Structure 1
């Protein structure tokens, strides 16, 4: 679709065409917002798959409800309202997701627990339209510790905090999007901040990839990868902080401290041959890990290891054993000779 003058159509023109049944115009109208909507729903739900479902459902509802949309310059708030409400419905239906090290004693039996899922950085293409500062904040908003902490909020608190502090909506705007009052929004935000303050590490303890620099990142990648592929348990343990944690969802077992992790690694590392491939997930350093399979004569996926760094050391490893490697741009297997 182009205007009579041959230029790109405005939002108003796209909206008019979409209301007349032009699906292509609707796609062009909402397409630039799809990635950020998915990231928002992921923060709410802790699952890429559930986020995809919520966004698709939200866009379907938006398409069917275009005639009721009151255009005030941007379709973005309206789409966020629909996506947030769809996420709230899914949270109530499916419950919260957790990590093994954060497992609460309340809720569903262990066998019925839903685990947090990693988020591929390659799905954050929309951040390219942001300033460098906003890009850093966007990545931090999908960091695993932050998303895990969000799961301990009530669904409504979660929505309020994200709308106010991640997306930057005012209290009045958030109240309108959630069909509630400003007083209710402010109260929920205050309670959410208190919960997160108790769960999240201090900002000074965090070490983001953006702050590390390329040389430091390359050094960490090389040392960690080399240690695993060489079967050097001592070298791996030397990279850990004293209070490091290691977990492997969907297994509920997890380890804390160098000695406990060493005991696990002696068995895990030395019994197999490994190959690691660096990647990014949740705005953090990660590795696709591959274990040699004698029957397939190839290295096959063993888990996506997502690392949290502090002071140049590894403070936590969450190895997602069921991660879908192609989603992260990783090959389905590796040949013995590379």
Structure 2
């Protein structure tokens, strides 16, 4: 089965992925048994095993802090993603920002930092990472983003909270970043004004002003006529290639798919593990071969070709998760599977394609 040629770039790499690749280049490849580990590649080797009485007490203390941080971060990951995706207008980029925030938090704790409260500390890291992402994107598009907080009065309204929670990512992206972050933190995630001020490191007055102005903007957007976004221009070869992949997967023709893997193919099973190299990534298909509760269809996620995964007995229902495939010279160069990251489906812009 021919999938055609072409070249696509891999998704934006997170620090965890870079740590992973450095780890592999050093010849220290690790195999994963599927157990959940937020930071499988960032650990100092001295911290990788059980602490014994002969080890330095500072190493043992660091290991304890890291384990506590991993537990806290696992419980916060969905909330962090909900915030990050609404700040940057993309569930895919939002996941990259969450990974960056978790990696920075991990490194900080390994270097001796230990926040009194993990949640506001991690949200602050994610907030700054999101602003950095927006600045870079604005520069690449040749325009600046507004980042100052406005100072006007605040009203606490259940109607505003419901409006913000129901707003699409595209609608939230029409707010300036300062308004957007306060609206999401207050009306979507339920943080108090004091907590928001702690996350943003600003005054209650500034938070109230940005929040009220953001709510006013959302009211105007809700009252305005809705205009359907233009359909993205799709490369017919991309869609044909993806359709062939989906057909082979649904037919369980995994040998054909393994034959299409590039030698240096990269797999990211988001929120679970990473692997690279044809030999290791080939095992990925075996896991799907053991299951029957999936059906693949071609579709679009945020305007880019994607695989939508539904239940075979209820194909008309919304997709459970999605998969992104990247190609290089007719070979599969990257697989990004969101099976273990269903939190990204909150607010996802997706559609099926014939």
Same fold (TM over 0.5): no
Give the TM-score taking structure 1 as reference length.
0.45
Give the TM-score taking structure 2 as reference length.
0.43
